[in-house]
Chains A and B, each alone.
Chain A
Amino acid sequence: TQLLEQSPQFLSIQEGENLTVYCNSSSVFSSLQWYRQEPGEGPVLLVTVVTGGEVKKLKRLTFQFGDARKDSSLHITAAQPGDTGLYLCAGVVVYRTVGSARQLTFGSGTQLTVLP
């Protein structure tokens, strides 16, 4: 079982502040995804990072994949109340050799609250 640990578990900040959340594992992933889940909804894909050291930006969100492809971070600049939600990282592992099927392993998430 591949274990993904996310930190912090809970984060409450004021609008306009910056923040970073982390996703760490002792396992190597072929790629890693970040999702955001809002109350009463399912997770929605934000980004996929594939290459070690890769940095991707999505407006005020910056995602980085570790050089060894074992960890990732999400940095939000000037957070807004609309950023509130549960942020989940998910590592992609090959779980079958036949057909190269892949499975997503999820972390337990960081619950972010941005106060106006």
Chain B
Amino acid sequence: ETGVTQTPRHLVMGMTNKKSLKCEQHLGHNAMYWYKQSAKKPLELMFVYSLEERVENNSVPSRFSPECPNSSHLFLHLHTLQPEDSALYLCASSQDITVHLRGYTFGSGTRLTVV
């Protein structure tokens, strides 16, 4: 148990489907993140939330839509994805966006396959 729980662990979806990824943390952290991990590429930061407010969006296509209803939950809504969006999507949390010494706590990820 890492403290950050992601569901589902695996997801296969068609290009016309709409699905959502869920992330939950009960560590008392105030910052949450979505990362995309593709083969042989560095982790790509997608979204950053601090105290439920989005503070960073690294030019992510609009087919990815995040939602942070409270400091413990983070969602990534997916629609009309492309096959190249297939990847491991990782959620992470940290005490806040200014403290870095303790690093990020990552979930186990959702393995997404777009067909």
Contacts and interface: CB of A to CB of B under 8 A. Distances in A.
A10 B92 CA distance: 25
B40 A42 contact: no
A33 interface: yes
Of residues A90, A104, A107, which shows the largest number of chain B Cβ atoms within 10 Å of its Cβ? A104
B107 A42 contact: yes
A106 interface: yes
Contacts of B42: 4, 105-109
Contacts of B41: 108
B60 interface: no
A102 B97 contact: yes
A31 B100 contact: yes
Interface string A93-112: 00110011111111111000
A31 to B, nearest CB: 6
Given A4-B42, A101-B55, A42 B4 contact: yes
A106 B43 contact: yes
Contact of B100 (A35, A43, A48): A48
Interface of A: 4, 9, 30-31, 33, 35, 40-45, 48, 50, 88, 90, 92, 95-96, 99-109
Given A103-B45, A106-B43, 16 more contacts: A33-B100, A33-B103, A35-B103, A41-B2, A41-B108, A42-B2, A42-B90, A43-B90, A43-B104, A45-B102, A45-B105, A48-B100, A48-B102, A95-B56, A105-B42, A106-B42
